[in-house]
């Protein structure tokens, strides 16, 4: 059945972010859809942000295009140029290699929901506001290369 | 600006389908977002179906995964196993190489809107209900290989 039974896919709020960077994403509940659906050409995640939660630390990907569409509620997209409000139906795109970190924050009092797609090569990337990078082999390091000792999940 | 200004992107209802297969998609108005947004790892289209319109002839891709999320309104997803209603927030996935053709029909009295993503290799595909294939070089042929003389757009 091509329609996905989202209710049958257990959401997780797992993160590999080292402390204290993990706190901001504790209210991010996501379902990875591609493995369930048998897709391999790109990844797709269904994400619910509880009030106050962030989608991630503000980041970019060196080798992966990213695209999202809001499904419900309201989120604040933050990047170098400031905040932008996203509502149901709004789309945003983040081409790989553009080192203008982005994330969504749920500044509202209700859950918000979005769908995010990523494709390309896992060649690493970085974070705009904190001393952290992620590597092609999914480790977190400081910007000087010192490992944090935790991996991307 | 990562948020896409959808209103600034002219929608088109262009199709390369030969007559009479083009009629069903005349009310399909789409915006190809990846070229505008600078994405190359996958394609993404924002699609509005007017009442009565189809998203395509019922088709599959041999080499491209496809994924969609409904944004607004109601559509009927049709595949070999029958119809399924999709509403805002519903997701559907179509792994490459599964020759169970699918399309959306707007059987409602209002516009419906969805976002569709495709990735992988353009190695062709086929149509479940009509005598037509599409080729890796974007031509339409009958199932015996006879060209229709029109190209995918």
Q: What is the pLDDT of residue A1?
A: 75
For range A79-94, the mean pLDDT: 97
How far does CA B33 lie from the centroid of its chain? 14
For range A9-34, the mean pLDDT: 98
Q: Is B55 exposed, middle or buried, given 0-12, 13-18 or 19+ CB atoms closer than 10 A?
A: buried
Cα–Cα distance for residue pair B143/B133, rounded to 1 Å: 6
Among A67, A74, A78, CA closest to A88? A74
Strand residue runs (E) in B22-131:
28-32, 43-49, 59-61, 64-72, 74-79, 82-87, 91-94, 103-105, 112-120, 125-127
Query: What global pTM score does this model have?
Result: 0.96
* Residue B139: band (very low, low, confident or very high) from pLDDT cuts 50, 70, 90: very high
Spatial strand order of the sheet with B103-105 comes to B82-87, B74-79, B103-105
* Residue A106: band (very low, low, confident or very high) from pLDDT cuts 50, 70, 90: very high
Position B136 pLDDT exceeds 80: yes
Cβ A71–B88 below 8 Å, yes or no? yes
Residue with tokens 């970019």: A60
Pairs from B129-132 (Cβ < 8 Å, separation ≥ 24): B129/B57, B129/B58, B129/B101, B130/B21, B130/B57, B132/B18, B132/B21, B132/B57
- Counting residues of chain B whose pLDDT is more than 90, the rounded percentage is 95
- Counting residues of chain A whose pLDDT is more than 90, the rounded percentage is 95
- The answer to whether the beta carbons of residues B129 and B99 sit under 8 Å apart is no
**pLDDT tens-digit readout, B105-118:** 999 999 999 999 99
Question: Fold for domain A18-124?
Answer: Jelly Rolls (2.60.120)
Top residue of A42, A76, A87, A128 to mutate, by most chain B CBs within 10 Å, is: A42
Question: Taking CB atoms and an 8 Å cutoff, what residues of chain B touch A92?
Answer: 2-4
Position B60 pLDDT exceeds 80: yes
For range A54-73, the mean pLDDT: 98
For range A18-27, the mean pLDDT: 97
Reading the block at residue A116, the tokens are: 């995010």
A28: phi then psi, degrees, rounded to nearest 5: -100, 110
Reading the block at residue B145, the tokens are: 């290989």
Position B7 pLDDT exceeds 80: yes
For range A21-31, the mean pLDDT: 98
Cα–Cα distance for residue pair B122/B96, rounded to 1 Å: 10
**pLDDT tens-digit readout, B21-31:** 999 999 999 99
For range A60-84, the mean pLDDT: 97
DSSP, collapsed to helix, strand or coil, labels residue B12 as strand
Cβ B71–A86 below 8 Å, yes or no? no
Q: What is the pLDDT of residue B133?
A: 97
Question: Chain B contact for A9, CB < 8 A?
Answer: no
Position B1 pLDDT exceeds 80: no
In chain B, positions 114-153, which contact chain A (CB-CB < 8 Å)? 115, 117-120
For range B46-71, the mean pLDDT: 98
Quote ipTM for the complex.
0.95
Cβ contacts below 8 Å, chain A against chain B, sum to 133
Position A133 pLDDT exceeds 80: yes
Q: What is the pLDDT of residue A90?
A: 98
Position A137 pLDDT exceeds 90: yes
Q: For chain B, give every domain's residue range.
A: 18-124
Top residue of A93, A100, A103, A112 to mutate, by most chain B CBs within 10 Å, is: A93
């Amino acid at each position: 059945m091509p329609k996905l039974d989202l209710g049958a896919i257990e959401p997780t709020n797992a993160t590999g972010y080292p402390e204290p960077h993990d706190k901001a994403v504790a209210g991010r509940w996501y379902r990875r859809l591609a493995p369930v659906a048998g897709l391999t050409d790109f990844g797709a995640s269904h994400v619910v942000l509880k009030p106050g939660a962030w989608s991630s630390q503000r980041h970019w990907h060196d080798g992966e295009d990213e695209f999202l569409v809001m499904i419900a509620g309201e989120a604040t997209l933050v990047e170098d140029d400031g905040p932008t409000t996203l509502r149901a139906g709004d789309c945003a795109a983040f081409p790989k290699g553009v080192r203008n970190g982005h994330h969504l924050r749920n500044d509202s009092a209700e859950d918000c929901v979005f769908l995010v797609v990523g494709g390309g090569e896992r060649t690493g990337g970085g974070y705009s506001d904190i001393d952290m990078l992620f590597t092609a082999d999914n480790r977190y390091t400081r910007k000087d290369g010192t490992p944090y000792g935790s991996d991307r999940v």
